[in-house]
Structure 1
Amino acid sequence: MGKVTGFLEHQRVKETYQPAEARLRHYQEFVSTLPVLDARTQAARCMDCGIPFCNNGCPVNNIIPDFNDLVYRDDWKSAIDVLHSTNNFPEFTGRICPAPCEAACTLNFNNEPVGIKSIERSIIDRAWEEGWVVPQPPAVNTGRRVAVIGSGPAGLAAAQQLARAGHDVTVFEKNDRVGGLLRYGIPDFKLEKTSIDRRVRQMEQEGVTFRTGVLVGDWPVGSRVGNLSTETVSPERLRTEFDAVLLAGGAEQPRDLPVPGRELDGVHFAMEFLPQQNRVNAGDRLERQIHAAGKHVIVIGGGDTGSDCMGTSHRHGAASVTQFELLPQPPEQEHKPLSWPYWPQKLRTSSSHEEGGAREFAIGTKEFIGENGRVTGIRTVRLAWEGGRMTEVEGSEQVLPADLVLLAMGFVSPVGSVLEAFGVARDPRGNAQASTEEEGGYVTNVPGVFAAGDMRRGQSLVVWAIREGRQAARAVDEFLMGQSALPR
């Protein structure tokens, strides 16, 4: 496991960032991959800890000590084989995963953890450069057909696994390009879309068929997604033409903020704002882009989506950007004896926060204020939290200027139309009801119809989506063939 005394001899090596003043001029990735020697030094810090908690901290159960040791020994070809054995798309997780594996690292108990995420990215980036990532078409075709609905990380992972098992897989995507929220939810400066495109090319050579611009469900003819005309396909047709169907769409129903003035122009969901910039970056022409240039921007929601709105607003040239969080500010450093090896509650500062703007904690929105039908300000109130209960601080109301308000408070459930069209039962949160504990797993109440990813578990991480896609693929393979050699 790396160098036995490496964690005593070497400090954590971090990836370098392009300076903020330079990266704000473009939408490309600005984090540099670790050089080979730095990656090997970082991998040397992986200690002989006996119980690698990082394996369980990682949702896809990456075999982290093994690929760390291989990088340290300069055997990069074997390292990518180990990494790919558990993760179909390490270039995604190596860029946008929050790295719960590092929180669980044994070294993190009283030191800085091993930079697992940066090592993962180094391995896959070198693998692409060296030509080690190649199509893996199946040796035998089963003749069974599977429809995968949604081309986000869950759908892509499931489709690749099922194609490699020999099934004829078709992925249906309602947007004009493959990738789901990887494509139109995550800004290009965090994940350039070339990473998606080259995986799509690989999967096509493995036999996967992609059909974009297709709405699945009982939609009227000529239905539209955004500004895109689409084809519609009924559930009955899919169940007739395919032997199994996997629902792998996202949790796309955003949480709203029903306060006075919500109807004002200039108040938008984050997922109205972010996809537009990704489309512009891809060369599309939009008639009315939501743009932050010269505006006072308020982002309501303190998570990653809110941070992405901040980074995009900075690049637009906003006059000011402020992010609201309902909860009080967490501590800058977690209490490791109480939190390790679990994901800790602590203040997290993203690269977008480092680029500028303000963060307001324990603040609530009372009203959107406007003139001539357009938002001009927000009436806020300070909040006090005690024993998990929230109260408003008397006399703390104030009005802040706001020309653009972006609601980034998370997602409550998948859009119901697809689930309703298939007759899939929902759990109390509105997600597809499909237990992972029952025999086979991921199967819904409708025979031959499975569900995985955010559509099943609710809003979550890309790495969880990949895990669910892989496991659902095994469940589908078992359903079709009676047994499966795919990994669990």
Structure 2
Amino acid sequence: MRFYICEKREEVKPFKIGIIGAGPAGLAAAGYLACRGYEVHVYDKMPEGGGMVAFGIPEARIPIRAVREGVEALEQLGVQFHFRTKVVYDSPKELGDEWAEHFVSIEKLLSEFDALIIATGAWKPRKLKVPGIGLPGVYDALSLLHSIKMARIGYYSWERIPDLKGKHLVVIGAGYTAVDVAMEGRLLGAEKITMVYRRSLEHSYAKAEIRKLIAEGVEFIEHATPVRILGEEKVEGVEFAKTKIVGGNVVTTDEHFVIDADVVAYAIGQLPTSPIKEIVCASEKVLEEAGIFFAGDVVTPRNIGTAIREGRAVAERIEEWLLRKAPRRVFPVAMTGRLIAEVLSGKC
């Protein structure tokens, strides 16, 4: 898996760029900038590169070997990686933090680099807010997939992974993450898999993959949303309400039904995880003028191809900005800190 390809590196340029996050967007940006002759450093809390491609997507879909080859190609271009290192500003605890052995402040990086790219992805699952969500046997899909992938590539013991053999797995959602859970469920021996979606199959952007799963025996139920997880000491079922679409919106009806379940995984989206808790304000240009750029899922969760294209596009913007602003240091570190504070307080 190649994140960026060039025949040879251009002559060295007098600028250093720091990239926070070694997922597809960050790696694509690193490849472009390294090829153009810039000194590039990539920071990531995980033990190796690839981001969610390496640590969340099933091995059957994207093998870790392919990701590692892509990272090695970047190292040969001169990209310097700092793994098990989390960049912090006001970061909350997130999935994967257990791997971080070193912590560096974003203010320190701002003092060392001419520009920063924040490409930290979306490592926080969107929580399903219904009664019973805390029962044993209920998982958010992102954490479940992450654990399974970490076991498959040797970082986790299989004892940490839920036993799905002979079980009824109910998957809530119909995106690619839900598809991945269903796929792993089959590989791990689930006797029955039921996917439930609040809209119709035609509304799912993963409908082609879901049709394949249906052909392989996965049950798919349309127009239903969970209202309660059932069980005493562990999950025993899910109560759903039928839905209908009114004016493009999902409306819950009074018609309910129950599906028995041994394991439940909900895949209702991810939230961006940035070292700066609030990155959306009146104008992202405020931070760009301070040399801070954003790329990939940390802006809006998207697919791998889009993240790679955006990583390169942001790298091109940085190059134009560096050449236009050279010599750098138009915004001293203190000014940059104040700009960040304005973003956090909503003043920008």
Tell me, yes or no, whether TM beats 0.5: yes
How far off its partner does 1:389 sit? 4.1
Kindly indicate whether residue 259 of structure 2 is the aligned counterpart of residue 388 of structure 1. Answer: no
User: Which residue of structure 2 lines up, in the alignment, with residue 195 of structure 1?
Assistant: 66
User: Could you tell me which of 182, 201, 204 is aligned with 2:53?
Assistant: 182
Q: Residue 145 of structure 1 contacts residue 169 of structure 1 at CA under 8 Å; is this kept in 2?
A: yes
Q: Residue 379 of structure 1 contacts residue 400 of structure 1 at CA under 8 Å; is this kept in 2?
A: yes
User: Could you tell me which of 434, 448, 451 is aligned with 2:294?
Assistant: 451
User: Which residue of structure 1 lines up, in the alignment, with residue 140 of structure 2?
Assistant: 269
* Counterparts of 2:112 and 2:252, CA distance in 1: 57
User: Which residue of structure 2 lines up, in the alignment, with residue 407 of structure 1?
Assistant: 266
The superposition leaves residues 187-229 of structure 1 with CA deviations (integer Å, 9 ceiling, x where unpaired) of 1111112111111111111100111111111479x99935424
SS class of match (2:14):
coil
CA distance 1:455–1:307, shift in 2 (3 Å): same
How far off its partner does 1:381 sit? 1.8
* Counterparts of 1:224 and 1:298, CA distance in 2: 23
User: Which residue of structure 2 lines up, in the alignment, with residue 480 of structure 1?
Assistant: 322
* Counterparts of 1:225 and 1:165, CA distance in 2: 32
Quick one: which amino acid aligns to residue 59 of structure 2?
D
Aligned pair count reads 323
The superposition leaves residues 344-390 of structure 1 with CA deviations (integer Å, 9 ceiling, x where unpaired) of 97943444444321111101111001122x21111112112233244
Q: Does 1 or 2 have the higher relative contact order (CA < 8 Å, sep 6+)? A: 2
Bigger proportion of residues as strand: 2
Quick one: which amino acid aligns to residue 296 of structure 2?
G
SS class of match (1:330):
helix
* Counterparts of 2:244 and 2:10, CA distance in 1: 62
User: Which residue of structure 2 lines up, in the alignment, with residue 36 of structure 1?
Assistant: none
Q: Residue 9 of structure 2 contacts residue 77 of structure 2 at CA under 8 Å; is this kept in 1?
A: yes
The superposition leaves residues 300-358 of structure 1 with CA deviations (integer Å, 9 ceiling, x where unpaired) of 11111100000000011012111111112428xxxxxxxxxxxx979434444443211
User: Which residue of structure 2 lines up, in the alignment, with residue 434 of structure 1?
Assistant: 284
Kindly indicate whether residue 160 of structure 2 is the aligned counterpart of residue 303 of structure 1. Answer: no
CA distance 1:366–1:182, shift in 2 (3 Å): same
User: Which residue of structure 1 lines up, in the alignment, with residue 188 of structure 2?
Assistant: 316
User: Which residue of structure 2 lines up, in the alignment, with residue 466 of structure 1?
Assistant: 308
Alignment of 1:238-317 (within 5 A): 238-286=109-157, 287-317=159-189
* Counterparts of 1:229 and 1:151, CA distance in 2: 14
Q: Residue 223 of structure 1 contacts residue 229 of structure 1 at CA under 8 Å; is this kept in 2?
A: no
Quick one: which amino acid aligns to residue 65 of structure 2?
T
Q: Residue 90 of structure 2 contacts residue 276 of structure 2 at CA under 8 Å; is this kept in 1?
A: no
Quick one: which amino acid aligns to residue 304 of structure 2?
V
Q: Residue 453 of structure 1 contacts residue 469 of structure 1 at CA under 8 Å; is this kept in 2?
A: yes
RMSD (CA atoms)? 2.8
Q: Residue 302 of structure 1 contacts residue 323 of structure 1 at CA under 8 Å; is this kept in 2?
A: yes
Q: Residue 199 of structure 2 contacts residue 222 of structure 2 at CA under 8 Å; is this kept in 1?
A: yes
* Counterparts of 1:389 and 1:228, CA distance in 2: 40
How far off its partner does 1:279 sit? 1.3
TM-score by length of 2: 0.84
SS class of match (1:482):
helix
Q: Residue 147 of structure 1 contacts residue 169 of structure 1 at CA under 8 Å; is this kept in 2?
A: yes
The superposition leaves residues 149-175 of structure 1 with CA deviations (integer Å, 9 ceiling, x where unpaired) of 111111011000000111110111111
* Counterparts of 1:267 and 1:180, CA distance in 2: 24
CA distance 1:142–1:226, shift in 2 (3 Å): closer
User: Which residue of structure 2 lines up, in the alignment, with residue 361 of structure 1?
Assistant: 222
Quick one: which amino acid aligns to residue 273 of structure 2?
V
* Counterparts of 1:388 and 1:352, CA distance in 2: 26
Q: Residue 308 of structure 1 contacts residue 352 of structure 1 at CA under 8 Å; is this kept in 2?
A: no
CA distance 1:383–1:150, shift in 2 (3 Å): same
SS class of match (1:277):
helix
SS class of match (1:399):
strand
Unaligned runs of 5+ in 1: 1-86, 91-132, 332-343, 436-442
Runs of 4+ deviating beyond 6 Å:
none
Alignment of 1:46-445 (within 5 A): 89=3, 136-218=7-89, 225=96, 227-286=98-157, 287-330=159-202, 347-350=207-210, 351-372=212-233, 374-394=234-254, 396-411=255-270, 413-416=271-274, 418-420=275-277, 425-427=279-281, 434=284, 444=287
How far off its partner does 1:480 sit? 2.0
CA distance 1:225–1:348, shift in 2 (3 Å): closer
Larger radius of gyration: 1
User: Which residue of structure 2 lines up, in the alignment, with residue 78 of structure 1?
Assistant: none
* Counterparts of 1:238 and 1:319, CA distance in 2: 50
Q: What fraction of aligned residue pairs are identical, expressed as a percent?
A: 30
Q: Residue 307 of structure 1 contacts residue 353 of structure 1 at CA under 8 Å; is this kept in 2?
A: no
CA distance 1:371–1:180, shift in 2 (3 Å): same
Quick one: which amino acid aligns to residue 261 of structure 2?
A
